[in-house]
């Protein structure tokens, strides 16, 4: 049913966006005055180049524009962009002398003020391009596409430890082979306690082994489309796995790993054991800010059909709440209890 009256919420954030745009135009036309104090000189390196006042002002003004126009939640986008412009005008970032300082300090400021751990800045030269895929340095997330351990435990209990949902074609092959190896177990434990998130597409693929094909997993809402996109389970070559499933999680578990836990929990397909996770639910992309800076920015919001919501800023609440270090022991106890009953 159509309604000619505008929503008060939409009207409010549109006014905020307009205000931000006007402030951006004003800032670009006059620049922002240099702070009275001068920090000690910083020795420039390849990743720590000297930052001029003009570069800082341009970067933060353009960053405010990108946030206002593209951040997934329009009202929060306008508020965050406005706060950034006000902070720059007040001299909050005038002490910055290198581009790496800007990346570190403004990135931290964005995550703190925006209450969104997905927000962050990167130097383009460190990646060679603007990309949403992060460089991994930890061996446990680089080796074997983060599939760290595969085991058949006593009692025919399968165990899989996965430390990231890596965005790579070969990761899908490793996932399929791992689940084929575990397909004849009587119960399966998937350990995500050290998972750093990653690819929603690999999440979707793995979920497809545990729920019927075409099951609606979640819908994806964004500012760029009028209709949500359905994310459904795929048809996989292997048969659907029916064994009892336990997912281990920790308070540090983020993003894609949370999708996996939450989707299975919502479908009633798994028992989640451990601690409430970090609460980073939004799909994140990457957008250029200047020719040397880009921002990692949430661009889409998932909505799960059972809850009508997601786990953003709340985390995935486990079915069985125990300290993360005790989660595996608890899962094994539950498998033993199931066999006895």
**What rounded mean pLDDT belongs to the chain?**
88
Cβ count within 10 A of residue 53: 14
pLDDT at 47 over 80: no
* Helices within the chain (DSSP H only): 8-30, 53-70, 74-89, 99-114, 124-127, 139-142, 169-181, 200-207, 256-266, 327-340
pLDDT value at residue 135: 76
Distances (CA, A) of 181 to 10, 150, 174, 189: 51, 8, 11, 13
Is residue 257 within 8 A of residue 165, CB to CB? The reply is yes
Instruction: Report the distance separating Cα 241 and Cα 210, nearest Å.
Output: 5
Instruction: Specify the domain boundaries for CATH 3.90.226.10 within the chain.
Output: 139-340
What CATH code would you report for 139-340? 3.90.226.10
Distances (CA, A) of 218 to 67, 176, 255, 298, 319: 25, 22, 14, 17, 20
Pairing label, strands 147-153, 157-162? antiparallel
Instruction: Report the distance separating Cα 97 and Cα 172, nearest Å.
Output: 43
Structure tokens at 161: 């430890």
CA angle, 45 as apex, 41 and 50 as ends, to 5°? 45
Instruction: Report the distance separating Cα 326 and Cα 240, nearest Å.
Output: 29
Region 259-267: mean pLDDT is 98
pLDDT at 36 over 50: no
pLDDT value at residue 18: 54
pLDDT in tens, 98-107: 999 999 999 9
pLDDT at 72 over 50: yes
Query: pTM for the full model?
Result: 0.83
Instruction: Report the distance separating Cα 180 and Cα 158, nearest Å.
Output: 11
pLDDT value at residue 40: 43
Distances (CA, A) of 127 to 2, 186, 200, 287: 47, 44, 21, 13
Structure tokens at 89: 């005008």
48 confidence band (pLDDT: 50, 70, 90): low
Cβ count within 10 A of residue 197: 23
pLDDT in tens, 85-100: 999 999 999 999 999 9
């Amino acid at each position: 049913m159509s309604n000619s009256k505008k929503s008060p919420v939409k009207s409010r954030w549109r006014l905020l966006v307009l205000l931000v745009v006007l402030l951006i135009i004003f800032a670009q036309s006059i620049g922002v005055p240099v702070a009275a104090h001068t920090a000690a000189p910083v020795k420039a390196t390849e990743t720590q180049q000297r930052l001029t006042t003009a570069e800082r002002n341009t970067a933060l003004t353009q960053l405010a524009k990108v946030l206002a126009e593209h951040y997934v939640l329009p009202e929060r986008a306008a508020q965050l962009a406005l706060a950034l412009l006000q902070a720059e005008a007040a001299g909050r970032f005038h002490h910055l002398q290198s581009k790496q300082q800007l990346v570190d300090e403004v990135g931290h400021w964005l995550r703190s003020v925006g209450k969104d751990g997905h927000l962050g800045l990167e130097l383009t030269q460190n990646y060679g391009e603007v990309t949403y895929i992060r460089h991994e340095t930890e061996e446990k997330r680089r080796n074997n596409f983060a599939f760290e351990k595969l085991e058949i435990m006593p009692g025919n209990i399968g165990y899989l430890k996965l430390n990231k949902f890596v965005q790579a074609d070969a990761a899908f092959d490793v996932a399929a082979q791992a689940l084929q190896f575990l397909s004849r177990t009587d119960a399966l434990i998937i350990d995500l306690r050290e998972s750093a998130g990653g690819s929603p597409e690999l999440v979707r693929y793995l979920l497809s082994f545990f729920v019927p094909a075409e099951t609606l997993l979640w819908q994806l809402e964004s500012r760029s489309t009028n209709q949500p996109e359905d994310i459904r389970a795929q048809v996989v070559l292997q048969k659907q796995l029916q064994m009892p499933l336990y997912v281990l999680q920790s308070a540090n578990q983020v993003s894609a790993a949370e999708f996996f836990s939450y989707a299975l929990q919502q479908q009633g397909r798994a028992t989640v054991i451990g601690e409430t996770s970090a609460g980073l639910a939004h799909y994140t992309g990457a957008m250029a800010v200047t020719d040397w800076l880009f921002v990692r920015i949430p661009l889409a919001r998932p909505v799960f059909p059972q809850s009508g919501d997601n786990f953003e800023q709340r985390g995935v609440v486990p079915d069985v709440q125990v300290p993360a270090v005790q989660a595996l022991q608890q899962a094994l106890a539950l498998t033993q209890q199931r066999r006895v009953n």
